[in-house]
Chains A and B, each alone.
Chain A
Amino acid sequence: MSAFFANLLFTYQSLIYGLGINAILGLSMYVVLAIGQLSLGQAAFMGVGAYASSLLSVKLGLSFPVVLVAAAGVPAMLALLVSVPTLRLSGVYLAIATIGLGEVLRLFYVNWDYAGGALGLSGIPDRGGFFTIFGTLALLLAAAFAVGRSRIGRAMEAIREDEQAAGVMGIDVPRYKLAALVISAAIAGIAGAYNAHVTAFIAPGDYAFDNAVTILSYALLGGIGSPLGPVFGAFLLTALPELLRPLHDYRLVLNGLIIVSVVIFMPRGLFSWHMRRIGAAK
């Protein structure tokens, strides 16, 4: 009996953690899309954060705050390397540059014996938890709103709408793009660290291209009129498969159908409310 309840709790706990972690991933996607760039590397950045943090926890036994700094910093540096060559090109090139990133990294993990090779890493200590995850989400959301409602948010929206016109406004477009990708990679890396430390186990295949598409679909479903869009999109897409569980085999079909219908019939996403971009009343 108690085992049954423990099990039930465990099931819901992982769902609740998943909601928070995926919402953070949705925000990481938002930071890039809000500036009109398309990155298909968010899962890869998440994976780098997961591996970097797990190795530091498992092999060196470092404390979690230190581990988190690495979880954000290492993917941020990778993003810097990836984006510098694509900066002056249009958004599509970033998508192409990041598309293969997940696959390259997967092969790297598989062949990296120190990190467990194909078997992955297990025995990652249980760190973080509910308050850490949702506290981070709340902080990031507040930060995204504060930044969105300032000259930085206006510059990002200007770049998203018309890069050349934004440059003519005096906005240093390449610098903004670089900052957006680096910050989004850091956020994804933190989500990766949380995920690794609540599931105790990571494997090379966890951060592949299909995961990148899932993260993108959080933002597509929720919309990018405000940072809340991708967060709700992530909540919905994380909860939906669970809610549809009684449908057994049909649930994935319905899940896909819902996503496709939203994209077709509501191109601005379910949550199309547009945030104001001025940081002071009146």
Chain B
Amino acid sequence: MTDALLEINHLGVRFGAVQALSDVSFRVEAGTIHGLIGPNGAGKTTAFNVISGLARQTSGQIRLAGVTLDQLPSYRRTRLGLARTFQNIRIFREMSVLENVLTGAHVQTGGSALDILLRLPRFRAAEREGVARARDILQLVGLESRAESGAGDLAYGDMRRLEIARALASNPKLLMLDEPAAGMNPSETQALRDLLLVLKKRGVTLLLVEHDMQFVMQLCEEITVLNFGALIAQGSPQEVRRDPQVIEAYLGTKTAHKLEQKS
């Protein structure tokens, strides 16, 4: 309990009349894959936005590795070890795949403005180093053959993998994935699962939002369930799957049947 990487305390978010999150608290332990699930509109993406600094909470605190994030702009949070992907893919479409990953490595990439203007050897060395690292990351996600392609020309599943590669380039402690398997075919989903396990082995902590229940249940050691902005359950996949409130929240949906069959 002591080595929580991410601590969410009594988080509340209101958009006008919509209470998108109310009094949500949970902790993500370092080195784990933590699931954040809930029906459509439950507030999962809102939680990601607030944690990454794209939206502001109306109450509560967020701490990453003991540092309070609340007033920090998103770029400072990234520098503290936070990275994320977007549910509605937001890669830089007019750059190449490789350039996208290099952009993700912005903070890591060396070279002062003067080095750049004079194209000093140390600037060029830093660029070469960055490119080599970016290619390694692309290889890890299985996009190495598309490195020179325009990011906007990728197939949907590849764009999702590029989002992950770009996020990994910042060397995050915590990587938040918003529906990474959405729109992927079964073999792509399988490859994604393997990738997430590799990342975990490498020490990246993962916070995973995903509607594919089988995917979530297989990967996560801890799951937090939201419904209408409130936390309704928390625990291991086994506990969450049997929770009456969770079953009720998903009732009538295909997922509910899957959940019930499994428990």
B115 vs chain A, min Cβ distance (A): 9
Report how far A167 CA is from B77 CA in the complex, Å: 9
B6 vs chain A, min Cβ distance (A): 16
Q: Does B109 interact with chain A (Cβ within 8 Å)?
A: yes
Determine if A278 and B119 form an interchain contact, defined as CB atoms under 8 angstroms apart: no
- Which residues of B are found within 8 Å of A155, using beta-carbon distances? 103, 106
Cβ contacts B96-121/A at 8 Å (1 or 0 each) = 10110011101101010100111100
Determine if B92 and A167 form an interchain contact, defined as CB atoms under 8 angstroms apart: no
Q: Does B54 interact with chain A (Cβ within 8 Å)?
A: yes
B74 vs chain A, min Cβ distance (A): 4
A143/B117 contact (C-beta < 8 A), A154-B106, A168-B52, A169-B106 known: yes
Q: Which A32-68 residues have a C-beta within 8 angstroms of B? A: none
A169/B131 contact (C-beta < 8 A), A146-B117, A161-B94, A278-B98 known: no
Determine if A173 and B75 form an interchain contact, defined as CB atoms under 8 angstroms apart: yes
Determine if B123 and A150 form an interchain contact, defined as CB atoms under 8 angstroms apart: yes
Report how far A158 CA is from B106 CA in the complex, Å: 11
- Which residues of A are found within 8 Å of B10, using beta-carbon distances? none
A165/B75 contact (C-beta < 8 A), A155-B103, A279-B116, A279-B119 known: no
A169/B119 contact (C-beta < 8 A), A151-B109, A278-B98, A280-B128 known: no
Determine if A278 and B54 form an interchain contact, defined as CB atoms under 8 angstroms apart: no
Q: Does A274 interact with chain B (Cβ within 8 Å)?
A: yes
A151/B102 contact (C-beta < 8 A), A168-B78, A278-B127, A280-B127 known: yes
Report how far A101 CA is from B98 CA in the complex, Å: 40
Chain B interface residue count: which class? 35 or more
Cβ contacts B11-27/A at 8 Å (1 or 0 each) = 00000000000000000
Q: Does B73 interact with chain A (Cβ within 8 Å)?
A: yes
Determine if A277 and B95 form an interchain contact, defined as CB atoms under 8 angstroms apart: yes
Q: Which A147-170 residues have a C-beta within 8 angstroms of B? A: 147, 150-152, 154-155, 157-158, 161-162, 164-170
Which of A164, A276, A279, A282 is packed against the most chain B CB atoms within 10 Å? A279
Determine if A161 and B75 form an interchain contact, defined as CB atoms under 8 angstroms apart: no
- Which residues of A are found within 8 Å of B116, using beta-carbon distances? 146-147, 150-152, 279
A33 vs chain B, min Cβ distance (A): 13
- Which residues of B are found within 8 Å of A168, using beta-carbon distances? 52-54, 74-75, 78, 83-84
Q: Does A171 interact with chain B (Cβ within 8 Å)?
A: yes
Q: Does A210 interact with chain B (Cβ within 8 Å)?
A: no
A280/B92 contact (C-beta < 8 A), A169-B103, A173-B75 known: no
- Which residues of A are found within 8 Å of B90, using beta-carbon distances? 162, 164-165
Q: Does B228 interact with chain A (Cβ within 8 Å)?
A: no
Q: Which A261-281 residues have a C-beta within 8 angstroms of B? A: 274, 276-280
- Which residues of A are found within 8 Å of B128, using beta-carbon distances? 280, 282
Among the listed B79, B86, B102, B104, which residue makes an inter-chain contact with A278, where contact means beta carbons less than 8 Å apart? B102
Other than the known A168-B74, A170-B107, what 16 A-B pairs have Cβ atoms closer than 8 Å? A146-B117, A147-B117, A152-B116, A155-B103, A158-B92, A158-B95, A161-B92, A164-B90, A168-B52, A169-B78, A171-B106, A274-B94, A278-B98, A279-B119, A280-B124, A282-B131
Offer 17 A-B interface pairs, CB within 8 angstroms, sorted by A: A146-B118, A151-B109, A152-B113, A157-B92, A161-B95, A167-B53, A168-B84, A170-B107, A171-B103, A172-B75, A278-B127, A279-B116, A279-B127, A280-B124, A280-B127, A280-B128, A280-B131
Please give me the 9 A-B residue pairs with the lowest Cβ-Cβ distance, nearest first: A170-B78, A280-B127, A170-B107, A167-B74, A151-B109, A150-B116, A279-B127, A280-B124, A165-B90
